[in-house]
Each structure stands twice: as structure tokens, then as C-alpha cells.
Structure 1
Amino acid sequence: MTNQAKNVAELMLDQLSLYGVKRIYGVVGDASFGLIDALARQEQIQFIACKHESTAAFMASAEAKLTGGLGVCTATMGPGATNLLNGLGDAHADRAPVLALTGQAPTDKIGKTVPQFINQQDLMKPFAAYSANVASPDTALDLLEKAVGTALNQRAVTHLSVPKDLFMAQSEAEPRQLPEVIEGASVFTKESLQKAADIMKSAQRPMILAGSGAADAAGDLKELAELWGAGILASLGGKGLVEEEFPLMLQGIGEGGNPHAAALFKEADAVLLAGTTWWPEGYVPEGARVIQIDRHFDQIDKNLPVDVGITGKTEEVMSLLIEGLSGFSPSQGWVNRCKKVKEKWDRQNEDEGHTGGFPVHPSRIIRALDRTVARDAIVSLDTGDNTVWTNRNFRQTDQTFIFSGYWRTMGFGLPGAMAAKLANPEKQVVAIVGDGGLQMVLADLLTATRYKLDITVVVLNNESLQMEADKLKVLGAKGVGTDLTNPDFVRLAKSCGWQAFRPESAEELESVMEKALNTVGPSLVDVQTAQAFFPETE
């Protein structure tokens, strides 16, 4: 049986369904009517109608970060495609496999002076590892296959523009049943990792810096830390990989991290980077030998003075490094120093979490959150002051955090939470956002209402772009525009069909959080937040 009765849009959806795509995020526009029509005629892939294309791209990026699978977003030509760029920038920067499908001018109008026309391949060039315009109906699936393969294999953004008339054009192509892929282990032996093992065995002051690429190696991280006598620090992407109670877990690094760990880290004579490509500028231990594990070769030595780069999955390499440490005796003095730094910060963190006053200090808000959210919740962070306070004071168990890592865009928190709930309906999902970040995506409160998404958004409302205000002060510069004109978030959320709450004192925080978390459907907690100067602002 052939697919002669199907058009390009229908065939593309059939093929995406075979790739495991469950949702496409987007905004309807006339250049993509053919795709919208095809989505409406099938049930394998759900169309999530967003209020703004940037939200659609953020949601595709968040889903890809969480699942490792393909995130897909769509928009019309011109301004629709342009509005996707911020979310695609986030996916590009954080290596999330995302496919953007955009409508384009009809084939006989491309290159002419027509409304909304732009060369979309040029538009997408900074972010897309592959971008092509579909030129004929029978090549659509070939180009789609290349775009999806590139996105998944390179963990990259890819893009296809489809002329308006081609979406509905008939094609004789047929979707390809995908082969079962058996992913084998990388070829490692103890001998091939001997140099790394030698560096590790010579170390007296070792440290491990873990990131999101070590998500499947939490147990090995702890075992290696104990055998090697190493403290574990986490980038924000690694937050939650190792529970706070683990004796060698020193928490985060950089803005919002353990403030006492920086000096210790600078004394390290060997550092293992496990699934991360970053450490904060100025934290690099002078003279330390650096071993980096990363799945993608082009990430090795991206920003750091690496002695040994190991391309592979962290969980595959870790077990062999553990074997290579057989018989090693760690420096108990260094282990004790790591534990003392941890204990010192644990005491200070606990004290900060009891900071009094109203409006409420950010540390007190984060303490209320770590007491009330589920141990395995998904937490979506916006970018801003809320990010650093969460990194500083949230005491993780095994929560999963998603955020805009390298792109660091405001407005990610709410879309990230919505995508997380759609992809993981069984999980509790919480967004921690600033008032500035939330206002960038306010219209999409209605997207959560439309799809009855059981999420909770906690707003740190200090009527300020606080991080920018603090940094201007440090520079000795005058600021303008950092104060915000805020709506009444409770009334606004309720008008959008949300349940909304506002604690009237710091003492009410936990009870109000629990009420919101136990509400069925979308809920918002608006917390009047003190304009606290972040202690490590540079």
C-alpha cells in the first residue's frame, strides 16, 4: 500500500511519530495552514497551541533537555519564525535536540517582494546545525530524516522551512520504519584510561565537578568520591544528582554555590569534570591536572585547560576509573577538609534559611520550597536572582532541575514547567521565577489553563530586576529601568483560571506552598520578596 493519498504535511507527521514525537509546540499562521490541518486530522501527535512562538521553542527545548528525545516547534514565516529564535538559542546553547518546522512563502513567490518573506536559512544560521528549504514534495521526507538525524546525533537545533503550497502537495514518498538501534558501549579499557588513572593516583587534593551529563552516574560519582577522597561540586545542571546528605557533596560552585568551597577548589591538584564543560571564571585551580569526560568530542577542552579528554558517556567511563583506583589510599587530611567545608556551609545555609523579616528574604523562600516540594519533583528555574538564590540555598534530594544554562534567557521558567508536566504527567512540577522573567511570558499562563496542567509557579516578587540592580551598584554605575511595574499576580492568575495565593508573613510560607502544591490544576504563589543584595555579586 502506498501513501499517494497523503500530502507532505501528513507524511511528515507520520514520520515524526515514528521518531517518537508526541507533541509539537507552536502558534498557528497562514504559511503553515497545511501542517495545522494535518495535525487536526490525526491523533498520534498533539499540537500545543502557545500564545507566543518563543514559548513554543522554550517548551520544545525543555522537553528535549528532560527526555533526551526530539523536541519540535512550529511557526509561520517572517515574524513567526523570528519569534522562535530565543528558544532555539536556548536549545542551541544547551545542546538540546530541537527541530523547528516553519512555513515559507509559496514556491513561486520565494525571493520576491512578498509580505513576511525572509531567507530563513540565513535567519537560522547562528543556531541551526542544519537548515533546508523543502523544494519539492518528494524530497520532504529525505530532508526531514536528515534534519532529525542531525538533531539527535549532534544534540543540535535543526530547521526545515516548507513553502505554504508544498505542505498540502501530494507525495508518493512513504514514511520509513526506523531500525531498532542498539547503542553499544564506547571502546574503553583500563589500559586506554591509564593516563587518567595515573593522574588520579598521584593526586592528594582531588575534586570532582559534576554536571547534567552525569545524570546516569550518580551512584558511581559517590563511589568514586569515596575511593579517591574527593569533594563533589556541582554545576547548576548537576544539582540534584547527589543528595545533599552525602558527606562529600559540597553543593554548587560559582554564583549561588557553596561560598566556602571556592578557596578549597583552588587548592585542588587534580579535577575530574564529569558531564560538564564549565566552571566559573577565576575558579580554575592553578597547576591542577584536569580530566574531562564528555559524550561529545567537540566539547572536550572547550573552555578549560584539559590534560586528558575522554569522549564517552560518564557512566561508562566511571566504572573503569573506579577499577583503576584499586588499592589507592586517599589523603584523609584532604577528606576531612572537604567535610569541614561542607559542615560549615550546611550550618550557614540552615541559618540563612531562617532569615526573618517581611517582605521575605529570598533564602527563607527557598528554604520553604526545599521543605515542601516532592523529593523527586521537576523544578524549572527562570533566569535571574531566583536562579542564584535557589542554587545557594535549595537543599536537593533527587529533584531534577531544568533551566536556561548557557543562553541564560529570562522567561524560561513557566514554559519549562509546562513542557515538563506534559512529558512527565506523573511528576510534581514547580517553577521558581522572578517577577521580571514571568512578565515576559504572562500570556502563556493561559496555555497552562488550556491544557489543564497541574503545575505550581512560585514568584519571587521584589518589583525589581534585582540581579541587574546589584551589578550596577557593584560597578558604581547609575541604573534606570531596573524597577518593575508589576500587576497583581494573584488577581491576574485567577483571571486566567489559576488558583493563586499570597502568604502574608514568612511564617505562612510552608502552609501556603503546600496548599498550592496540593491544588489540582495550575497554581501560583506570589511571595513579596525582600530586595536582598546577593552576597557574591560581581
Structure 2
Amino acid sequence: MAELILEQLHIWGVRRIYGVVGDGILGLMDAIAKQDRIQFIAVKHESVAAMMASAEAKLTGNLGVCTATMGPGITNLLNGLGDAHLDKAPVLAITGQAPTNNIGTDYKQYINQQELIKPFAAFSTLLTHPDATVKVLVKAMHTSLIQGAVTHISVPKDVFNMMASSKVRRKPKLVKGITKFDKSELQDALNILWAAQKPMILAGIGAREAAPSLEKLAEALGAGILLSLGAKGMIPETSPHVLGGIGQGGNPYAADLFKQSDVVLLVGDTWWPEGYVPKDARIVQIDYMQQEIGRGDIPVELGIVGESQTVVPLLAEALQGRKVNQEWLQQCRDVKTRWEKQNQEEGQTGGTPIHPSTVCRVIEQCVAPDAIVTIDTGDVTVWMNRNFRPQNQRMLFSGDWRTMGYGWPAALAAKLAEPHKQVVACVGDGGIEMVMADLLTAVRYELPITLIVFNNGSLQMEADKMQAGGYLPEGVQLTNPDFVKLAEACGWEGHQVDTKDKLETTLRQALKSNKPVLIDVKTAAVMHPETKSLTTNNEKVKV
């Protein structure tokens, strides 16, 4: 039956399974060892396996698969599955379970896995008969791919070794037609946009295929374009309409302007950061998934369910000839110009340790235009969002789940999925210390990745928030290893830098290496300019 699982996964395009070997999945591991169509990627911790599956799914749009044993194995998967769940990445988790004659007993490591994974999984079931294998697998894979969701199958350890009689089912070939809209069907949206005096476009990853038309729409509408972190780079920074990002780490002058907007067109995005957005604007949202319309706290007036690359060109065409508000357009350009000048200056900040803005600027100048850049959660996220000006690089990060430790597993998965692309991981010292054991995974699978550690000796974001809120900064100082010696002990190249020039020289050399390279960047412990306290009024909560 385990062989049938692998055959069914392969025929649906799965090429890798990430995981840690355990007692509950030995039958599956035996089947993996007897074939060569699906590669097993052995990692050091199950959370890394799930984060890698999530990253591969985000990058490729294909199904990411991870596996673990029962009990602590599946429990350790949950962090990475949480990331996939909130970022809507199609991921399937296959876990071992107690033998069928011990389901529901006090057997070691037994837990009701369906209840455990329920908050994250759109579908989870216990597979108890080998002849149901194909039906259950197809249901899980279909659900993941169609809904952009986590699914889960738990398999009793004895079932892996049973004989199965069912045959694999091929993945349906989809001929996806273009959803057609008549202008009359978009008239309500056009009426709102046509009446706008201070329009703004907020675009996310879901607008990537519509990027060229988005510029034309902004021109016809007389609007500025704000981009979420994952969408940065899809429209050139040189576009007169692109104002940069919004939220902590974005264009610091954009928020005041955005709050004045009377109409917002939200395209392929659900990013609506509190404190940075208008309160009374009319909002039109375009998204291909109906459940994303009005998600969270976004007060959407009109939702359009459709592909952005279909809808945006129609809106742009229909709005041609509209008289734009030149005063508003000039305000947008002033905000863009002001931030461009300041951003350029920030990236040239001198001194040692190196200012984080300068680290971001050196990365920007050195990485390939088509590189994959993974970003960990923490202080490194907001500095990269603020000062890294992408060209056409793909950015991978933990969006809504925001787990620390994500940047390195994402880089591993990216290099496996796109071996010919340059992959650069930007992580904090606190984040990499959560997943350091998997430095060895890069050596095991010969993955030449450049890992840049922003080393400021602390959990800087939390330290800054505590300071801003009047809290004593307990627990935020780190006990760091010698990262260079650690890298070398793992079979890597390791370098430590503390000046801009040395960072640039070292990074350019690292990007040419055929080995994984760690660059320990001595980074200034600088409070991010938009740091906010843990409370809204800068006072401790009284109870």
C-alpha cells in the first residue's frame, strides 16, 4: 500500500517528500527506498519539513508534501502547517499512526490526530483500509490544490504494509478558460472608480500576472500603487505610480497619503495593516477566491471574483479618457520622490557594526535579478521591506503566520525546486538559531545557498517593542555561537564581516561558490524607525 501512495503522488507531480524518519512511517520509508521517482529529503526537525513543504508550494504552486511519525512527529509539523494554512499554500501531510488494533487506546504516542490538526487542515482523515488509498489521496490532493489548503492523512503503521488492489488515478488535465466579464457587469466598480478623487491601488502577490495592466490602470485612474512585501518587484520601482510598500517597513510617508484616499482598489491582496489605512474609503477588491473578499477587517464595498489579469485590463480600458486629479497625482509623486531620496541615503549609512539598511542595500546590489530571496521573520523582515528594492526577484517569507526560523527552510526548498536559480536567505541570528541543525541538510544534498545572518546579538524587534512600551527587556539578549566556526564544522564556507566593503566583496564571492556559504554580518542594533509599542497608547495595560 505504501508503494501505491508513492505512485499516486508521483502521477500528480510530487517529486519530493520532506520529513524525519520515525517508527510510525517505517513502511513508507521502505517503499521510498525502493524507488527513485520521489526523493525523500531528510531534515533534522519536523517543523523544518513542514516549512519546506509550504515554501515549495508557495514558490511553485504545486503540492508540497511532508511526513512524520505519530505523537511528537505530527506535533512538530504543526508550526510549518500553520504557515501553509494562513498563506494558503497547498500542502499534504502524511503521518504514521498507532496500529489499527490500538487506535483509541493508551498506546505509546497515540493521540487523535484529526482533532490535533483540525485548526489547520481543510481535510483530515484516518486511512484504515488499503483499498481506500487512492480515493483518500485524490480527495486530499484535490482539496489542497483547489482550495490552497493544508490536508492530512494519518495511516496506521501496519496499514502501510498491507496489499492494495486499487489503481492510481491520473490528475485531470485542466483546460482553464478565461472568465469573461462584460463591461456592464463591471459597471458598479467602474462607477466607484470613475468618481474617485483620491484613488489608490494596493496590490499583492495575486496581482503578479496583471502587473503590466496595473500600471496602465494606475495611469488612467491617476492613482498611486502600494505593494505588499511579496509583490514588491513585480512592477519596476522606476514606475511613476509605484510608491513602495505600506505598513511597518514600507514607505514611511505613504501612510498619511493613503489615509486620505477616498477609493481603494485592492488587487490580489488581503494586506490591510491597522494604523496605515483609510477609515472611510470606498473599497473595491479583486480576487480569484471568493472567500478572500472582505477577509479580516477589510470593509469591502464591492468584490469582484475573478483573475486579476482578466479584470484589470478591462478596468484600465474602460477608464481611458477619465480626467485625473492632478493635485492628487502630484501628492503621490512627491511622496515617491521624498522616499526615494531618503531610501537611497539610508542604504549608504556608514559605520561598524553595519547598519541594517546598508546590509539590505548591499544585498540588493549583489543578487541576481531572477534570484529567490527568502526572508525570516523578525527585525530582518521590516528592514528588508524598507530598504531592499527588488527588481524581479521572488521573495519567500512567512506571511500571516510569521514564524521565526522560516527563512532557512524556505531557502532549502527553493534550491531543491529551482536548482539553477540563485538562492539567498536573509535571516536574523535569533531565527537561524531555531533551525541551525539543518545547516547540515544543505551539505547532505549539495545545495549552494548563500545564508546572510543579520547578527546583532538580540531578538531586536522584541527588544525594541519592549523599550517603546516601557517594559524591561528581559530574555531578548542572545547567546550566540561563533557562526563561522559552526558553518565550517558543518562543511560550509564561513565568513564574518563588519564593514560595507567587506560585505560586498564577500557576498559577490559567495554567490559564485559551489558550496553553501554563511556570512556572519555584524549588524548594528538599531531600533527600526516605525517601531510601535506592545500597547496602542504606549502605556502598560492596567488590570
Counterparts of 1:205-284 in structure 2, within 5 Å, are 205-284=198-277
Alpha-carbon distance in 1 for matches of 2:385, 2:282:
27
Amino acid corresponding to residue 117 of structure 1 in structure 2? Y
The answer to whether the 8 Å contact 1:235/1:279 transfers is no
Helix, strand or coil at the partner of 2:101? coil
Residues 442-484 of structure 1, C-alpha deviations (whole Å, 9 max, x = no match): 0000011111112111000000000000000111011211000
Q: Does the alignment pair 1:17 with 2:10?
A: yes
What are the within-5 Å matches in structure 2 for residues 413-452 of structure 1?
413-452=407-446
Aligned mates of 1:374, 1:46 — CA distance in 2: 28
Length, aligned pairs only: 531
Aligned match of 1:80 in 73, 90, 98? Answer: 73
Q: Distance in 1 between matches of 2:307 and 2:8?
A: 28
RMSD: 1.0
1:476 aligns with 2:470: yes
The corresponding residue for 1:507 is 501
Which residue identity is paired with 2:260? E
> Could you tell me which of 47, 59, 62 is aligned with 1:66?
59
Matched, 1:117 2:117: no
Letter in 1 for 2:268: G
Q: Which residue of 2 aligns with 1:304?
A: 298
Q: Report how far residue 178 of structure 1 moved.
A: 2.4
Q: TM-score, normalised by structure 2?
A: 0.97
| Aligned-partner residue type, residue 468 of structure 1 | E
Paired residues of 2:429 and 2:453 also in contact (CA < 8 A): yes
Aligned equivalents of 1:263 and 1:343: distance in 2? 15
Aligned position for 1:5: none
Aligned to 1:521: 515
User: Counterpart of 1:469 in structure 2: which amino acid?
Assistant: A
Residue 30 in structure 1 maps to residue 45 in structure 2: no
Q: Which residue of 2 aligns with 1:388?
A: 382
Query: Aligned runs of 1:319-468 on 2, under 5 Å?
Result: 319-468=313-462
Deviates more, 1:392-401 or 1:311-320: 311-320
1:280 CA displacement: 0.8
Instruction: Write the deviation string for residues 96-147 of structure 1: whole angstroms up to 9, x where unpaired.
Output: 0100000001111111111111110011001001000001110111111111
Query: Identity across aligned pairs (percent)?
Result: 57
For residues 470 and 504 of structure 1, do their structure 2 counterparts lie closer, same or farther at Cα, with a shift above 3 Å needed? closer
- The answer to whether the Cα contact below 8 Å between 2:255 and 2:277 also exists between their aligned partners in 1 is no
**In structure 1, how many angstroms separate the alpha carbons of the residues matched to 2:484 and 2:332?**
44
**Deviation of 1:314 (Å):** 1.2
Which digits, 9 at most, give the CA deviation of each residue in 1:381-402, with x for residues without a partner?
0000000000000011111101
Match of 2:480 among 486, 507, 516: 486
SS in 2 for 1:216: helix
Distance (Å, rounded) in 2 between the aligned partners of 1:460 and 1:283:
27
8 Å Cα contact 2:411/2:449 also seen in 1: yes
Deviation at 1:179, TM superposition (A): 2.5
User: Aligned with 2:447: secondary structure?
Assistant: coil
Aligned to 1:156: 149
Give the gaps of 5 or more residues in structure 2. 533-543
- Partner AA of 1:113 in structure 2: D
C-alpha deviation, 1:188, in angstroms: 2.0
Q: Distance in 2 between matches of 1:198 and 1:252?
A: 27
Conserved 8 A contact 1:32-1:75: yes
Give, in whole Å, the separation in 2 of the partners of 1:431 and 1:243: 22
Using the TM superposition, name which of 88-97 and 319-328 deviates more: 319-328
Q: CA deviation at 1:329?
A: 2.2
SS in 1 for 2:283: strand
Tell me if the contact between 1:501 and 1:516 (Cα under 8 Å) persists in the aligned partners: no
Aligned to 2:193: 200
- CA drift of 1:239 comes to 1.6
Divergent runs of 4+, >4 A? none
Displacement of 1:177 after TM fit? 2.0
TM-score by length of 1: 0.97
**Counterpart Cα distance in 1 of 2:160 and 2:520:** 44
CA–CA separation in structure 2 for the residues paired with 1:95 and 1:483: 34
Q: Provide Cα deviations, 1:322-379, integer angstroms capped at 9, x if missing partner.
A: 1221321222222222111111101100111111111111001001110101111111
Q: Which residue of 1 aligns with 2:538?
A: none
CA distance in 1, matches of 2:62, 2:343: 36
2:95 is the counterpart of 1:95: no
In the aligned structure 1, how far is the partner of 2:327 from the partner of 2:123? 52
Counterpart Cα distance in 2 of 1:240 and 1:166: 48
Higher mean alpha-carbon deviation, 217-226 vs 396-405, is at: 217-226
Unaligned 5+ runs, structure 1: 1-7
- Aligned letter for 1:135? T
Counterpart code for 2:54: S
Q: Secondary structure at the match of 1:320?
A: helix
Match status 1:146 vs 2:139: yes
The one-letter amino acid paired with 2:262 is D
Aligned to 2:308: 314
| Amino acid aligned to 2:99 | P
